[in-house]
């Protein structure tokens, strides 16, 4: 039988642990989002994952499930999708306590990742800080030539069927945009031309839009990489204007 002193101390310890648990849970909840994962490849065998996701070092497969994912409050979230033998690394920005769903994609995407509330594509702002003209290609279809010292804002337009697939951001030398690489249904060896054009690619990064993010990008000539910076979110008025 415990002495009176021990019982008091045990009660204090239990009370302390309860307070600590509540505090820990509140902190954890405030730094998480909910991810609903549906079968990306519905016809595959149940015990085989043809796609694997890693979000901020937390990994999971494609089986129907609901996951609480830890999010990065102070920067972008780092994501990876491993599809068969291919790997796609991309950045995104989850919001606290929001719900997202991963679903089967269409012909141009293996999967889509969508916010359940008010999902929106966003914009890319690029300032050419080099001393030469550069090419900027957003989501493969939005193509711009940007002169030295010039700034361009581009809405990351995407196919309506795959609105919420990761968005490619490619910076190139201006030669990449030459008409000689446009397909013209003739007898030219376009495979060879494609290899030649690829030599003018400078830097590539992937970003996934969820809530109408305004993303600023910089080309770092020393590292030969693109740096991203979140500068805000589109208002409903701004979204209607840029998406028309």
pLDDT in tens, 54-79: 999 999 987 778 999 999 988 999 99
Q: Please give the Cα distance from 5 to 65 (Å, whole number).
A: 48
| Residue 217 structure tokens | 């990008």
Q: How far is CA 178 from CA 129, 150, 202, in A?
A: 22, 20, 15
The answer to whether 219 and 203 have CB atoms below 8 angstroms apart is yes
| Residue 145 pLDDT | 95
User: Does pLDDT of 47 surpass 70?
Assistant: no
Residues 183-239 pLDDT 10s:
887 778 888 999 999 999 999 999 999 999 999 999 998 899 999 999 999 999 999
Band of pLDDT at residue 21, cut at 50, 70 and 90: very low
| Residue 9 pLDDT | 55
| Residue 232 pLDDT | 96
| Residue 210 pLDDT | 97
The answer to whether 98 and 117 have CB atoms below 8 angstroms apart is yes
User: Does pLDDT of 5 surpass 60?
Assistant: no
Find the mean pLDDT for residues 83-89: 90
Q: How far is CA 209 from CA 45, 118, 136, 192, 213, in A?
A: 31, 12, 18, 33, 6
| Residue 226 pLDDT | 95
Find the mean pLDDT for residues 2-18: 49
Q: Please give the Cα distance from 160 to 152 (Å, whole number).
A: 24
Question: Which of 40-49, 106-115, 166-175, 225-234 comes out lowest in average pLDDT?
Answer: 40-49
* Selection from 85, 203, 210, 207 nearest residue 139 by Cα: 207
Residues 130-178 pLDDT 10s:
999 999 999 988 999 999 999 999 999 887 677 899 999 999 999 999 9
């Amino acid at each position: 039988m415990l002495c009176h002193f021990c019982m008091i101390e045990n009660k204090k310890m239990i009370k302390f642990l309860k307070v600590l648990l509540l505090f820990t849970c509140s902190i954890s909840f405030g730094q998480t989002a909910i991810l609903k994962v549906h079968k990306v490849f519905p016809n595959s065998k149940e015990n085989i994952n043809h796609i694997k996701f890693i979000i901020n070092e937390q990994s999971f497969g494609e089986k129907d499930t609901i996951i609480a994912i830890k999010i990065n409050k102070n920067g972008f979230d780092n994501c990876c999708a491993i599809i068969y033998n291919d790997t796609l690394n991309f950045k995104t920005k989850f919001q606290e306590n929001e719900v997202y769903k991963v679903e089967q994609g269409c012909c141009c995407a293996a999967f889509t990742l969508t916010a359940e509330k008010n999902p929106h594509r966003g914009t890319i702002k690029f300032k050419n800080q080099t001393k030469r003209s550069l090419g900027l290609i957003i989501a493969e279809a939005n193509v711009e030539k940007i002169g030295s010292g010039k700034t361009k804002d581009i809405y990351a337009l995407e196919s309506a069927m795959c609105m919420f697939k990761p968005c490619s951001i490619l910076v190139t030398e201006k030669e990449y945009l030459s008409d000689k690489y446009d397909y013209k249904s003739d007898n030219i060896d376009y495979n060879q031309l494609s290899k030649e054009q690829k030599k003018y690619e400078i830097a590539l990064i992937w970003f996934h839009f969820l809530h109408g993010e305004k993303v600023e990008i910089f080309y770092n000539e020393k590292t030969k990489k693109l740096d991203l910076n979140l500068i805000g979110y589109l208002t409903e008025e701004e979204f209607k204007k840029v998406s028309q």
